[in-house]
Amino acid sequence: MYTGQFAQYLKLERNYSARTVESYLSDLDLFGRYLETVEQGLVPSEADRDNVRMWLASMMEHGEKSTTVNRRLSTLRSYYRFLAGRGIISSSPVQGVKGPKNSKPLPHFVREDEMDSILDDADLGKGFTGVRNGCIMAVFYEAGLRLAELIGLDADDIDLQQRQLKVTGKRDKQRVIPFGRELESRLRAYLESRASLCVPLSPALFVNLRGERISRQEVYRMVRSTLARYSNVGKKSPHVLRHTFATSMLNEGAQLGAVKELLGHESLSTTQVYVHATFEQLKEIYRQAHPRGDK
């Protein structure tokens, strides 16, 4: 198998760490054991392209993640490159072999009842801070903003008469997002509280107690803390609230193109991940509700 020589090659010529070398050798050992089981007596240095492809297919059939399969294929590429460079084999059996496409993880989102609890009943602080934090959570959920977009909002970007936000997104691209009466009410209450601060106010919409634009860190910490207390969602960040906005819109029948515009996505394919998320939610509902759904 030339395992020892391969390990020296990785360590001395590729300058890989001991842990990385150990990982490569572990992958190679798995391939060797697979060959022993399926092609008795065959070792990795003698394998051909079909052997490699069959191993990849076997891993996928046994539920290995695509990232794991592709990492192990990368190990074989290095191994056979080493063998070819030493003249041990004439050509690499992994040449032209493609691994599976890495699946993108579905976005995390907060359940509707949890969002209702956060917006209606959560303790988000006293006085000005509580009003501001509640408004921030509502803007994230009801407008689907990115963290940087929310931080960058100025008070003049709010049109309460028309009930719309002017948002500056990536590459300074601007979009207008409509909002409902409930968010209008929260914004009015917040703006009144903001005006009552006895400090000079910056143009920023969301400010701290010194009247300065609120920082990314303060918003992130507040959102993470709130989600940790009131939600079981796996990830806890402002972006999860953006995911929640998009998922809720699609669940309520919004067109994909409309959600794309509201989110400020350049491509429709970026928005389509939320369709998969809502479909997975439907499958789970079916599994739990249908008498034969879990058969």
Whether residue 260 contacts residue 271, with contact meaning beta carbons closer than 8 Å, is answered with yes
DSSP sequence for 191-210 = HHHHHT-SSPPPSBSSB-TT
Round to whole Å and give the CA distance between 123 and 134: 9
Identify whether 265 is a catalytic site residue. Answer: yes
Active-site residue 213, yes or no?
Answer: no
Burial readout 166-199 (b: 16 or more C-beta within 10 A, e: otherwise): ebbbeeeeeeebebeeebbebbeebbebbeeeee
Among residues 170, 188, 216, 290, which one is catalytic?
170
Q: Is position 274 annotated as part of the catalytic site? A: yes
CA angle 170, 174, 179 (to 5 degrees): 110
Catalytic residue, from 81, 163, 224, 265: name it. 265
Q: In Å, how far from its chain's centre is CA 287?
A: 25
Which of 49, 53, 81, 146 is an active site residue?
A: 146
Give the Cα separation of 72 and 23 in Å (integer).
Answer: 9
60 by Cβ neighbours in 10 Å (0-12 / 13-18 / 19+) ranks as middle
In angstroms, rounded to a whole number, what is the distance separating the alpha carbons of residues 166 and 159?
8
Select which of 72, 242, 243, 260 is catalytic: 242
Sort 247 into a burial class: Cβ within 10 Å, 0-12 / 13-18 / 19+. buried
Check if 239 is active-site.
yes
User: Active-site residue numbers?
Assistant: 146, 170, 239, 242, 265, 274
